[in-house]
Every structure is written in C-alpha cells, then in structure tokens.
Amino acid sequence: MPSTPLDSHLFRDMFGTPAMRAVFSDEALLGRYGEAEAALARAEAKVGVIPADAARAIDAASRGLRFDMERMKRETENVGYPILPLVHQLADAAGEAGRFVHWGATTQDIMDTATVLQLRAALDLVAADIEALRGILAGLAAKYRDTPMAGRTHLQQALPITFGYKAAVWLSSMDRHAERLEQLRPRVLMGQFAGAAGTLASLGDKGLEVQAAFCAELGLAQPPITWHVARDGFAEAVGFLGLVTGSLAKVATDVMLMMATEFGGEAQEPFVKGRGGSSTMPQKRNPISSELILATAKAVRQQAGLMLDAMVQDFERATGPWHLEWMAVPESFILSSACLHHAKFMLGGLVVDADRMRANLGLTGGLIVAEAVMMAAAPKLGRQRAHDVVYDACRAAITSGRSLADALGEVPEVVEALGGREGVERRCDPANYLGLAPQMVDRVLSGRGAE
C-alpha cells in the first residue's frame, strides 16, 4: 500500500511524473541489472573470456526473463543487495550457460552501471523539460521586452524594469543549466566494472579490455580508474537538480508575490476552474503550481545534501553511505520532474497584466524615478546640488501626497535644468527610465539564437 506522496495514488502526480517514475521503477531497475549482466557477457565473449555460445544464451535469457518478484524481495532482504538474487534467477534461465553469468564482476559493478543507465534516461527527460522551459521563457521575454513594471529590491519599489527583462533573467539561468547538463554527462555517464576491490584482478590481463568492451556495449564512457568509492559523479547529478529546481523556486516566488492581492495580480497562474480554490473562501485563487514548485525544490535540496554525505565512503568499498544513494537518486529525480512539470504548466499559461504593472509603477507618484530626475539635472546643477534639490522635492511630495512632478514643478532651478515643465513630466515617467533592460533582453535572446 502506498505510504508517501511519491507513490501515493492521490499525490504522486503532484510530486512526480509517470515518465520519471517509470525510469526508477522496480521493473525498470531489474531490467537495467539484466541489461548490464547481458552486456558483460557479450563483452567477455568478444574478448575471449567466456564462450560465445554462453554469451548468446545469457543475453537471450536476460531479454526473456520474468523475475519472480517475491523471491527477489525475500532474497534481497536476506542478502542485503539485489544482485545475487538476480544472478540466481538469470543463471537458472540461462541453463548451462548460467555458470558464466556475472563472471569477474562484483555487486556494485552491476548496481552502479544500472544506476548510470537510469541516470542517462532521467537526464534526457530533464533536458527535454529544460528546453521546453527555455522556449516558454524566451517567448515571454520577447513579448514583454518593453512592458514596464516596478523593479523591487528588499520588497520595495526600486527602479523601473520590464517584465521581459525579468523573464530574460529567469531564462538566463535555464540557459546555464542546459549548458551544465551537457558538461556533466561525460563525468556521470561512465560504466562501472572493476571486480571485488576495483583492481580487475580476477580477469588477469584481460580486465581493462573487458571493461572497455562492456562500456562500449552500453554506450557509456570507460572510466580511467574504478569509482566504487569516488561518488562525485552521482553527487554532481543530484546537485545539478538542486540548481535547476532552485532556479525554478525563485521564479515561483516571484510569481506568487505578483499574484498577491496587494500587488494587484501583476501576473497570475493559468486559470483552471477549481484550481487553487478554497474550501471556505470562494474568492480565493491560490498559487498551487508555485507552491508545489517550492515544495519539491526544497525536498530536492535535502537530497543534494544527502548525496554529499554519501560521498564520505570508507576504504575501497563503502558501508552505509552507499545505501543513501538508493534513496536520494530516485527521489531527487522524481521530485525534480514534478518541479519542472509544474513550471512548464505555470509559465506556459502565465497571465500577465501589463496595465496593473503600469498602475503599480505609479503608486509612488514618480518617486521611483527620483534617480532619473537627479541625473538629468546634474549636468547643469552639479551632482550634489541636484541630489539635494531632488531629495527635498521627494520629501515634499511624500508629506503633501503630491506627485514628484508637481513638487519639482515648484522648484524653478530644476524646471529650468530639465528643459521646462514638459521635461519634468518626461523625466518623472517611469517608462522613460528603463535603463538597458530591453537591450539586455535582446542579448539573452540573441545568445540563445546563436546556439
């Protein structure tokens, strides 16, 4: 009976996706074990370590084997690892050739290689989601390139930006994650075959040749040396997921805040009847996707820390630390798949209210662009004099409830420095002080187009 959100019938599609769960299912894992054992037999036959007929029989048996799951469970609980129970069933299925199953290998060789095969499939799913998000964010950045809104620092209005600029900032992190993913693949997708203590001693001078053939059979890189207790590759993969989901959590936080009543709904998650509803308050439209992004991202970060702990392994074969990976790797990928899924849904249907953004820019009556006024007046008044005059005008505007333009209009030297009342109005319009935000959007989008 399911007992956690990851496998619960009620919650599993909120905290994972069917595709990612399939990659890490028991059936898929046993299939990967069998795939590794068959590849090993084929590799050893090519090198002349075992008979070719035996390799063919083992390969055929691995493809047609239907595991006795109850027997696997019972023997795995007894042994502590699933490979010996698997070898028993595979050897039985292979008949006479069964005596050559698992030749020269150790349990961790097969388990590590199976995990790498899972990671390859899982990373492909992550890569597809990242690419989809990049497309969505690029569309938002281009569409809202020139749509002004308040830029906020420390939750206070600071200077005007554009919503396209905000989306391009989000996009830039996903661009880097796509690059990171391609860079980490060679470090993570390495086969593992090294024998009992990692020295390939049982195969004599054929060891490295078998290892190379084994990795080639599976399309994996051959490692320069055994990584039984050097777990940085797996830790990097999960750490990468922490970075990706961390970026998505930042996006979700921005969207949640923009959905707040006090922000007037500058942006809203896609409307689906009943989604985000309250059992007692009919008016509510809660940011459910963003909340799930935050929750899954936090959980992935915990798994990343667990993987760092699992790196601390003793001597040439680990005790408990290795077992931590059995929990952290599948859970981190399943949680990340949910995080990416919710982000695609939320951003793909994001409702952007440009009018509300413009209205919020006017909440301060022009104070948000006091810097613009000061810098425009500085060439004639000097920077310090301009600062002092505009500072006094800001205080007057705040205490009297007037706009900054009205307060400045009563300061003749500022009016003259800005080229008259029309110049004052122009400088006090936040839409005219966007800096290079639109050009920065172009830079991000052009960098994406150059790929």
Q: What is the pLDDT of residue 158?
A: 86
Q: What is the pLDDT of residue 141?
A: 97
The domain 106-192+227-358 is placed in CATH, from the list 3.30.360.10, 1.20.200.10, 1.10.357.10, 2.60.40.1180, at 1.20.200.10
Classify domain 367-428 by CATH architecture.
Orthogonal Bundle (1.10)
- Reading the block at residue 141, the tokens are 């950045």
Would you name the residues annotated as active-site residues?
154, 278
CB atoms within 10 A of CB 209: 17
Q: What is the pLDDT of residue 284?
A: 52
Q: What is the pLDDT of residue 450?
A: 42
The residue among 211, 142, 2 whose CA lies nearest residue 443 is 142
Whole-angstrom distance, CA of residue 204 vs CA of residue 380: 85
Q: What is the pLDDT of residue 6?
A: 83
User: Are the CB atoms for 291 and 203 separated by under 8 Å?
Assistant: no
Q: What is the pLDDT of residue 365?
A: 87
Show me where the domains of the chain are located: 106-192+227-358, 367-428
Q: What is the pLDDT of residue 451?
A: 46
Q: What are the residues whose beta carbons fall under 8 Å from the beta carbon of 334, sequence distance 6 or more?
A: 6, 15, 16, 17, 20, 21, 24
DSSP state of 15: S
Q: Return the sign of the alpha-carbon dihedral for residues 223, 106, 103, 39.
A: negative
User: Are the CB atoms for 311 and 238 separated by under 8 Å?
Assistant: no
Q: Which ranges of the chain have pLDDT less than 50? A: 278-279, 281-282, 450-451
**Residue type at position 336:** S
- Residue by residue, DSSP assigns 245-264 as HHHHHHHHHHHHHHHSGGGT
CB atoms within 10 A of CB 114: 25
